[in-house]
Amino acid sequence: MKFNPFVTSDRSKNRKRHFNTPSHIRRKIMSSPLSKELRQKYNVRSIRKDDEVQVPSHSSQDGHR
């Protein structure tokens, strides 16, 4: 089930939206949340190419995506 019925899940429409979006808006869309400490330290909310990140594992899902 979709989370939001008003947003398309069509791959071609999503790619079209991504590549036709202005770069200043695309930057916000492609951002990823940082921890509060890192946000305050670097005053940045997004991650970029070649950034080192740590992905926590979710033990509650037990092998599910």
Interval 7-43: pLDDT, tens: 999 999 999 999 999 999 988 887 777 778 888 888 8
CA 19 to chain centre: 16
Q: Are 34 and 45 in contact (CB under 8 A)?
A: yes
Q: Are 47 and 32 in contact (CB under 8 A)?
A: yes
- Alpha-carbon distance of 24 to 57, in angstroms, equals 31
**Looking at the whole model, is its pTM more than 0.75?**
no
Tokens of 34: 């940082």
- Alpha-carbon distance of 13 to 29, in angstroms, equals 15
